[in-house]
Amino acid sequence: MTRGEQLEFCKRCTNRKMDMQQGLLCSLTGQKADFTDRCENFNEDTTVKVDTSHYNDEPLIAQDFASTLSSQVLEKLRLEQNLPLAILAGVVAGLVGSVLWAMLTVATGYQIGYVAIAIGAGVGFSMRFAGKGIDQIFGITGAVIAVLSCVTGNFLSSIGFIADYESLGYFETLTMFDYNYLIPLMKETFSVMDVIFYGIAGYEGYKFAFRSFTQDDIRVLKG
């Protein structure tokens, strides 16, 4: 923690005292702040108004600042994690997104790749709110689910086109399809642009799967 970050706490502590030579000191030790993650003697002075105009209001994900938190705080946050629920939420969001993508593709006759980006974000945010994850596994899982959801959307689109061509019902085509031809079908419908959109979807599934915090949340956790 930098001197400036330490002073953010000292300015709001009742144990502060001003020395004309050294600046703001701790009245308990007579020294400048030397804590790294948090001060054990911090006692908030509620009469002090903190200027938050210089803070960025954009939420931060846990991965951005987890290394600055104490092991006790990290352990508490990990106890609030729920990976199974996050996976369930991500899979549901991914399936809904893939079905909607397939319906849109068949209805328009065009594969709108930007929908894959929306699927990735949907998967990530669903996992974030359901799982409250801070560990790497949440991001990795989010990326995998997002990419698989995009692949599923492409497959369902192909089934829709086959159903229209053969004048069959969608679910009838889905059950009658010979899944030995699944890989050849996916290869035939695959394009270079899919790699780009899948990559973006995977990135969003990874990034948004982590729990987010405001600047105020971070200050409380550190204080």
Q: 203 and 119, same structural domain?
A: yes
Q: 123 and 23, same structural domain?
A: no
Q: Domain for residue 58, yes or no?
A: no
Q: Other C-beta atoms within 10 Å of 125: how many? A: 19
CA 195 to chain centre: 21
Q: 115 and 5, same structural domain?
A: no
Q: Domain for residue 62, yes or no?
A: no
Q: What is the pTM of this model?
A: 0.68
pLDDT tens digits, one per residue of 19-60: 777 777 888 888 888 887 678 888 888 777 655 444 444 566
Q: Other C-beta atoms within 10 Å of 137: how many? A: 15
Which structure tokens are listed for 216?
């105020």
Number of domains in the chain: 2
Domain hosting residue 35, numbered range: 1-50
Q: Domain for residue 43, yes or no?
A: yes
pLDDT tens digits, one per residue of 106-161: 888 877 778 888 999 999 999 999 999 888 999 999 999 999 999 998 888 888 88
Q: Domain for residue 65, yes or no?
A: no
Question: Which range (36-45, 164-173, 212-221) has the least confidence?
Answer: 212-221
pLDDT tens digits, one per residue of 61-96: 666 666 666 777 778 888 889 999 999 999 999 999
For the residues 193-209, what does the mean pLDDT come to? 90
